[in-house]
Amino acid sequence: MDDIVEQLRDALGDDQVIDAGDIEERYLRDWSSAPPHTPMALVRPRSTAEVSTILSLCNQAGVGVVAQGGMTGIAGAAIATEDQIAMSLERMRGIEEIDEAAATITAAAGTPIQILQEAARERDFLFALDWGARGTATVGGGLATNAGGNRVIRYGMAREHVLGLEAVLADGTVLSMMNKMQKNNAAYDLKQLFIGSEGTLGVITRAVFRLHPLPATACTALCALPDYRSAIALLRHAQRRLMGAVGAFELMWADYYGIAHEVGNARAPLPDGYPLYVLTDMLAADPEGDGARFERVLEEAMDAGWVLDAAIARSETEVTGFWALRDEVAAILAAFAPCATFDVSVPIGDIGTVVEILRERVSRLWPGRAAMFFGHVGDSNLHFIFALPDDTAATELAVEEAVYEVVRDYQGSVSAEHGIGTVKKPFLSYSRSAAEIATMRGLKAALDPRGILNPGKVF
Ligand SMILES: Cc1cc2nc3c(=O)[nH]c(=O)nc-3n(C[C@H](O)[C@H](O)[C@H](O)COP(=O)(O)OP(=O)(O)OC[C@H]3O[C@@H](n4cnc5c(N)ncnc54)[C@H](O)[C@@H]3O)c2cc1C
């Protein structure tokens, strides 16, 4: 085993290879509850050629390699164990090109998402991938997990933003597919294999993303609703009347809303006591007329009885304040620790019923514990925080089983946007059939016959 570390040092130079005892804490864990591990070494390549060398050497030696981005994952997927090599892409960062004619941005895998957002904005474009960890999460990690986030309802998951990709296979073969064209049906679209495969099929080194026009206006409102049926009616009404310009549709059930402004710093623009709250906005291009259009749609929804009360943000500070309510997750987790957190998908029409079933189920099994529901409901994504009665792994597993059984019954997904990693591995079969998992294993065996890429993750 030590041989491979020496071989890597010979091939890459001393400063590229860090021995187990000298690896900083941040490479050992992600944001999940998965336990930290210290890999046998950490390598930090500077180029695609070096990634290729590392993989080729590890493949010959049969040693596992775990690609690491910003380590903001929530599934334990980037943690390398004691018999594996961790490969951080953090030195491969930077914007390579913004092509205004093609409306694309090309960046290296280790570049944080926020850097792409800022570079695009400077050239009057929108890089529309966005989520809370934007300052640390990277291009490679975002694509390997097919990240979602705040704007999926309007612009889609990470997969929908990618036009081209460069990836290195387990044996060191470089696949350069840096396509910039929207139309390219020249046989298989191989880049899709690497998106969402959590580093198990190849290491992403560069990517080409599509850019969008920068919205000139963003009108934001927080609305109080009587029930889940009204939330769906409001969503469909707003999408129809605004021609798909809805940029977010974030639902908060009363239990989440009350606790979010109680334990966090966010102010509550609407009083407690309503069954549901939705944070929604419209991204558009007419500063003169958009505000009135947005308000008209909300008035129509009030007349129909779908909205009981609404607050419209009148300044950037108020917009930030409204979003702060939705982003109080860290404060809630700290206040209620230990907690189990869930990121699941259920067909939109069933989410209201699923929440009722889950609330009833967990309160019957573990009475008196706080259960808080919220989510990117416009894209069928439900989040749920449950305050556990104790911090034992057995209790957490029992709560997970109780929740994922309901998700399975409604043909939902145990992972909406955070991936499987190690944390959700026991539940993959709740959302994927035996035939699907066998096909995944077949793909893995074809691309990585020695099983060196992120071993032990996903299945
Ligand atoms: C505060 C906060 C908010 C979040 N909000 C959201 C959200 O709204 N939506 C969402 O989807 N996620 C969210 N996340 C989760 C996380 O940010 C995403 O999963 C993100 O995509 C991980 O990126 P990363 O660079 O940190 O990857 P890492 O955590 O380092 O790695 C994640 C996975 O990608 C693999 N990987 C990393 N780089 C490469 C590469 N170059 N090639 C191949 N595989 C690679 C790793 O092996 C691992 O399997 C949030 C996380 C935090 C901490």
Q: From ligand 1's centre to the CA of 359, what distance in Å? A: 29
User: Residue of the nearest CA to atom 44 in ligand 1?
Assistant: 199
User: Residue of the nearest CA to atom 21 in ligand 1?
Assistant: 142
When pLDDT is cut at 50, 70 and 90, the band that residue 2 belongs to is low
Task: Give yes or no for residue 414 having a pLDDT over 70.
Answer: yes
pLDDT digit string, tens, across residues 441-459: 999 999 999 999 999 999 9
pLDDT digit string, tens, across residues 236-249: 999 999 999 999 99
Q: Is the dihedral of CA 419, 422, 424, 429 positive or negative?
A: positive
Task: Give yes or no for residue 355 having a pLDDT over 90.
Answer: yes
Q: From ligand 1's centre to the CA of 47, what distance in Å? A: 21
Lowest mean pLDDT of 14-23, 259-268, 364-373, 389-398, name the range: 259-268
Q: Is the dihedral of CA 1, 421, 160, 385 positive or negative?
A: negative
Query: Cα separation of 71 and 59, whole Å?
Result: 24
Residue 375's nearest CA partner among 272, 276, 271 is: 276
| Mean pLDDT score, 367-377 | 94
Q: Which of 51, 90, 131 to mutate to test the pocket of ligand 1 (most atoms within 8 A of CB)?
A: 131
Ligand 1 pocket, 199 CB below 6 A?
yes
Q: Given this model, what pLDDT does residue 330 score?
A: 85
Ligand 1 pocket, 72 CB below 6 A?
yes
Lowest mean pLDDT of 180-189, 196-205, 266-275, 305-314, name the range: 266-275
Ligand 1 pocket, 78 CB below 6 A?
yes
Percent of the chain whose pLDDT exceeds 90: 92
When pLDDT is cut at 50, 70 and 90, the band that residue 5 belongs to is very high
Q: Given this model, what pLDDT does residue 327 score?
A: 81
When pLDDT is cut at 50, 70 and 90, the band that residue 359 belongs to is very high
Task: Give yes or no for residue 298 having a pLDDT over 60.
Answer: yes
**For residue 270, how many other CB atoms are within 10 A of its CB?**
18
427 and 414 Cβ atoms separated by less than 8 Å: yes
Task: Give yes or no for residue 1 having a pLDDT over 80.
Answer: no
For β-strands 104-108 and 203-210, DSSP reports them as: antiparallel
Residue 85's nearest CA partner among 167, 4, 141, 201 is: 4
| Mean pLDDT score, 342-371 | 97
Query: Which ligand 1 atom sits closest to the C-alpha of 143?
Result: 21
**Average pLDDT score over the chain:** 96
User: Residue of the nearest CA to atom 28 in ligand 1?
Assistant: 71
Q: Given this model, what pLDDT does residue 454 score?
A: 98
Give percent helix, percent strand, percent coil of the chain, each to the nearest 5. Answer: 40, 25, 40
Domains, the chain, ordered by start:
2-88 (3.30.43.10), 95-213 (3.30.465.10), 217-326 (3.30.70.2190), 337-435 (3.30.70.2740)
Query: Cα separation of 56 and 120, whole Å?
Result: 35
Ligand 1 pocket, 127 CB below 6 A?
no
Angle of the 228-241 helix axis to the 351-365 helix axis, nearest 10: 150
| Mean pLDDT score, 415-423 | 96
Query: Cα separation of 344 and 324, whole Å?
Result: 22
Q: Given this model, what pLDDT does residue 328 score?
A: 84
pLDDT digit string, tens, across residues 260-282: 989 988 888 999 999 999 999 99
Is the bond leading into 338 cis (omega within 30 degrees of zero)? yes
Ligand 1 pocket, 111 CB below 6 A?
no
Ligand 1 pocket, 74 CB below 6 A?
yes
Residues with Cβ < 8 Å from 323, sequence gap 6 or more? 220, 279
Residue 88's nearest CA partner among 138, 126, 53 is: 138
User: Residue of the nearest CA to atom 53 in ligand 1?
Assistant: 72
pLDDT digit string, tens, across residues 131-171: 989 999 999 999 999 999 889 999 999 999 999 999 999 99
- Which amino acid, one-letter code, is at 81? T
